[in-house]
Structure 1
Amino acid sequence: MKNLVSFLSVILLLFSCNAQNAVLSNKNETTGKPKLVVGIVVDQMRYDYLTRFYNKYGAGGFKRMMNEGFNCKNNHFNYVPTYTAPGHASVYTGTTPKYHGIIGNDWYDKDIKKMVYCAGDDTVQAVGAETEDGQMSPHRMKTTTFTDENRLFTQMQGKTIGISIKDRGAILPAGHTANAAYWFYGKDKGYFISSTFYMNTLPKWVNDFNTSNRAAFYLKPWNTLYNIETYTESGSDLNNFEGGFKGKETATFPYDLQVLKDQNGGFDILKATAYGNSIVADFAIAAISGEQLGQDNITDVLTVSFSSTDYVGHNFGVNSKEIEDTYIRLDLDLERFLKALDEKVGKGNYTLFLTADHAAVEVPAYLQSVKIPAGYIDSKAQKAMFSDFMKTKFGTSDLIENVSNNQIFLNRAKLNELHLDLETVQKALVNEIINYEHIDKAYTATSMGTTSFTTGVETLLQKGFNQKRSGDVLYVFDPAFISYGKTGSTHGSSLNYDTHVPLLFYGKGIKHGQTFQKTEITDIAPTMSALLGTSFPSGAIGQPLEFVFE
């Protein structure tokens, strides 16, 4: 009898262990949580790139996400300025610069009286290369991201890894608690690097990737993937609206990158080609294995920003053959990235979203050529006019401390010295500059802080206005007027060409569908938090898009 009791005890113990293991192995399935969340941001991607180039895409990239996932077709940024750093921060925090504090890629710091970079941090050092390009962290971002909230929820067991060509595209999405953020250092290296904010040495898998000479592989001719004559969705290859590369007389295909690299920053030339996205995809695929992402029942997050689309757009413009080829090739990179997720994490085990940090305007010179109102602003001449007015009105030009990001910063010490009322000077500036050609609107910081706007550009400006960091006067240019060179595209406004971007959801917990209902960029983070069952990011103002869930 004693032996029988012992035997039954062992059987019960084995059954109990197996039952516990079954519960653990099915934890994600029963809770509906994915093993891995992947956030993809395509830098400077207009919504119409999904539709304009649709027939050139294969079945496994953009089309797979559109045809098997959920497509929010009327997705917009809900603040100004529409720049890279605020865009990435807003996607992942679920709020706007008013709260997260990233008011530009760089901005004038009123306390230390100089420009600061969104991710710059001189308290940390580069890891992977001896360069100031590695002195970066998310310390200027004031609120949490949904990636932070997942780390907190999982007691820091769920990993977060951020990857991009740009440091800010890797750092801000990954949040404050990330295990790592990696960005591309070109020049003479062609390496992915990080900072001591995250680690003291690069992991073996990153060193292996860097020493594999993968970047050197892409220093090759860049030609169109298909016959250039079939690229009917973009303008002529030879035109007056594109920048190009030093060392090549015309901005036309093909580009021999090996020949051109020495005059264009060494490996940095890859950033402004379609191959910049390819090396990011290579690195992201390596990260899945290297970091063992999605290999257990605790949700990990991988953030990937494809930034070369932005460099190409700035250089060649949104209507260029180069942009079309870049998106056709990005589609292939997305296809192999999704296949890698299927193989390494398992189809049905991950959830993914794809969006952009901003869109872009057509090259104004091109718009002028087809009789659409557009043009250019001479910023230096404009600043001189601001100073001249202040000298005439108040007897000194020292009242203006800085002009940047379409904002005027006043010298508060000088105002006090001259016993001038701040609001009076702000209003005087607004009443003056609103008369200037191609300044469409102007507002005081006082009005931004005391008036509750509910419609129009005023609402977007207010959501981008941070009381401690923004300027004393904000102004807006006429539509399609930019302070930029005569070639290439840029962004930053409240107009649809800058705010309308894709939003695709795909994978575990996401149903197939589409909507023209307006969604906002700040809805993404709460949606992912709702999917994961975590707290919303600390400053989130968006709403979960429950109609995307199964």
Structure 2
Amino acid sequence: MKKSALLTMAVLAWMCTVAVQAQIERPRLVVGIVVDQMRWDYLYTYYNKWEQGGFRRLMDQGFSLDNTLIDYVPTVTAAGHASIYTGTTPAFHGIAGNDYMLHGRPTSSVRDTTVAGVGTDSSAGKRSPRNLLATTIGDQMKLATDFQARVVGVAIKDRAAVLPAGHAADGAYWLDGKAKRFVSSTYYRDALPRWVSRFNDEHQDLLAGDLWNSWRGATATMQLAAAAIDGELLGRDEVPDLLTISISSTDAAAHNYCLHVPRVDSIYYELDRQLALFFDLLDRKVGEGEYLVFLTADHGGTYTEPFMTGHRVVTGTWNPSQAFKDTNAALEARFGVPKLLKSEMEFSFYLDNELIAARGLDRDAVAAEAVRLLSVPDEVQWVVDFAHLDRYVLPAELRERLVKGYNQDRSGELFIIPTVGVYARYRPDAGANHGTWSQSDSHIPLVMMGWGVPHGSSSRQVAMTDIAPTVCAMLRIQAPNGCIGHAVTEIVDYSTNR
């Protein structure tokens, strides 16, 4: 009798669990769209020029968080994509920049020499998320669904496809610029799926053009994303899937030209058209109201010096590579040892600590002299030595961003904070840039639309790191393991109480 009673209780408990699970409502598909270097104000700058079905549909039907800030420095692509999907910052997820020093050697955020390319024989295929130290939204979806959720990432930039998709993704696909094809790596699978190969074959004319600096990049990326909907059968059942999309050409064109020039404008207009087509596809394939979309940016951007000075707006530039050379030369003159600075990457300067120790020099003396040399009036406001951050009188907001952006194993010991309005320029003909804490670089759009999202807007300050916990809360799953953000209550409370 006891065994029978225990069996009955177990069956009842299982039935109750199934019943509870059946009552949990979730979107069938989550789509994350990152528009590289899209400033927040673009939502309104372009609003009257957009058509009804793309950006305007997001704005008119969705919820816009108009005061979303990046809560760390440097504000660059790899760190931004990682932070959006992990809900944490470089201090924890480890992506200290697009490039950084790892084990004493320079590396890129997604470079992995242990894997081979898929769809390419070139080094462009040697990519994986192994440098990412935290889990992502997609990883948590996999864990919560016993790995039944499908997770796919697409972008022109490798880091913009790999980092958002996460560790457990079914695939990430990026452009091999020389081969003019979308490729992947053996980290995910041994051969391209048929739908990617077919896309490459059927869009040779499109892929042969300039995808980096023209509207073609937005077209190719969004059409590859559309192909993934059918190719991976995304959003076709009750198990939620994730598709991550990043538009890279908006960043490349702005870097090579400027903000709001016709070439850059044309990319946003084409992206608007492609978004309208994509949302219509989701309505038909997944079902209107059955999917959740969020659109944001990895960072903003700054107008060029010629443009600003031409309109009498205070600005300036600072050349990191020249500062690196000049400082190394001055350090050699002072200490008699060449190359005491090992590298310079995205506002970070790395001391060669092994060389300093081998030559019997005092590390703090070398660092202090480097700080003095790098502190150029009118260009650099602060040079911070992270070994002695407590000695600096800094605004609390800036200090917090520095701490969140510093990874002790991967960031440079010295960090440059340019004077307000000054941006880094590596060559005289460079276009827009980013990387600082300023509003132009750190104020990003965040619009959510679809399943469980009310219509409206809020000017309450939220952070880039709030995106992941918000999406996970709506999915009723655990946030990524390094998450420090907070769910946006204006959206989550509505989705849970509707």
Shared fold by TM > 0.5? yes
Shift of 1:416: 1.9
Matched, 1:186 2:127: no
* Match in the other structure for 1:371: 312
Aligned residues: 475
Q: Which SS does the other structure have where 2:372 is aligned?
A: helix
In the alignment, the residues of structure 2 paired with residue 452 and residue 346 of structure 1 have an alpha-carbon distance, to the nearest angstrom, of 54
In the alignment, the residues of structure 2 paired with residue 450 and residue 148 of structure 1 have an alpha-carbon distance, to the nearest angstrom, of 39
* Match in the other structure for 1:358: 299
Runs (5+) with no aligned partner, structure 1: 1-19, 220-266
Q: Which of 64, 76, 79 is equivalent to 1:71? A: 64
Distance 1:139 1:452, change over 3 A: farther
* Match in the other structure for 1:333: 274
Shift of 1:27: 6.1
Shift of 1:491: 1.1
Aligned residue identity for 1:481: Y
* Match in the other structure for 2:227: 286
Matched, 1:387 2:328: yes
1:527-538 matches, within 5 Å, as 527-538=470-481
- After TM superposition, the score normalised by the length of structure 2 is 0.91
User: What RMSD over aligned residues (CA atoms) do the two structures have, in Å?
Assistant: 2.1
Larger displacement relative to structure 2 (420-429 or 161-170): 420-429
In the alignment, the residues of structure 1 paired with residue 447 and residue 372 of structure 2 have an alpha-carbon distance, to the nearest angstrom, of 43
Q: Which of 48, 51, 55 is equivalent to 1:58? A: 51
- After TM superposition, the score normalised by the length of structure 1 is 0.82
1:111-510 matches, within 5 Å, as 111=103, 113-187=104-178, 189-212=179-202, 214-216=203-205, 218=206, 267=208, 269-436=210-377, 438-448=379-389, 455-478=396-419, 479-485=421-427, 486-510=429-453
In the alignment, the residues of structure 2 paired with residue 31 and residue 286 of structure 1 have an alpha-carbon distance, to the nearest angstrom, of 29
Distance 1:464 1:268, change over 3 A: farther
In the alignment, the residues of structure 2 paired with residue 414 and residue 209 of structure 1 have an alpha-carbon distance, to the nearest angstrom, of 51
In the alignment, the residues of structure 2 paired with residue 451 and residue 440 of structure 1 have an alpha-carbon distance, to the nearest angstrom, of 12
Q: Which SS does the other structure have where 1:272 is aligned?
A: coil
- For the pair shown, the structure with the greater C-alpha radius of gyration is 1
In the alignment, the residues of structure 2 paired with residue 198 and residue 116 of structure 1 have an alpha-carbon distance, to the nearest angstrom, of 21
Shift of 1:469: 0.8
Distance 1:153 1:436, change over 3 A: same
In the alignment, the residues of structure 2 paired with residue 52 and residue 514 of structure 1 have an alpha-carbon distance, to the nearest angstrom, of 17
Residue by residue, what CA displacement relative to the aligned partner does 1:186-219 show, whole Å, maximum 9, x if unpaired?
Answer: 33x432111100000111122221211x140x37
Q: Which of 79, 83, 86 is equivalent to 1:90? A: 83
In the alignment, the residues of structure 2 paired with residue 529 and residue 509 of structure 1 have an alpha-carbon distance, to the nearest angstrom, of 12
Shift of 1:457: 2.6
Contact 2:110–2:158 (CA<8 Å) still a contact in 1?
yes
In the alignment, the residues of structure 2 paired with residue 49 and residue 381 of structure 1 have an alpha-carbon distance, to the nearest angstrom, of 33
Q: Which SS does the other structure have where 1:197 is aligned?
A: coil
Distance 1:450 1:374, change over 3 A: closer
Q: Which SS does the other structure have where 1:33 is aligned?
A: coil
Aligned residue identity for 2:478: S
Matched, 1:511 2:454: yes
Residue by residue, what CA displacement relative to the aligned partner does 1:25-82 show, whole Å, maximum 9, x if unpaired?
Answer: x967x32311111101001101111101110111111111111111001111111111
In the alignment, the residues of structure 2 paired with residue 313 and residue 294 of structure 1 have an alpha-carbon distance, to the nearest angstrom, of 34
Aligned residue identity for 1:484: Y
Q: Which SS does the other structure have where 1:534 is aligned?
A: coil
Larger displacement relative to structure 2 (318-327 or 455-464): 455-464
Shift of 1:419: 3.4
Distance 1:380 1:537, change over 3 A: closer
Structure 1 runs of 4+ off > 3 angstroms? Answer: 378-381, 418-421, 448-454
% of aligned pairs identical? 36
In the alignment, the residues of structure 2 paired with residue 507 and residue 94 of structure 1 have an alpha-carbon distance, to the nearest angstrom, of 21
Residue by residue, what CA displacement relative to the aligned partner does 1:152-185 show, whole Å, maximum 9, x if unpaired?
Answer: 1111111100011111111000000001001122
Contact 2:301–2:432 (CA<8 Å) still a contact in 1?
yes
In the alignment, the residues of structure 2 paired with residue 492 and residue 192 of structure 1 have an alpha-carbon distance, to the nearest angstrom, of 28
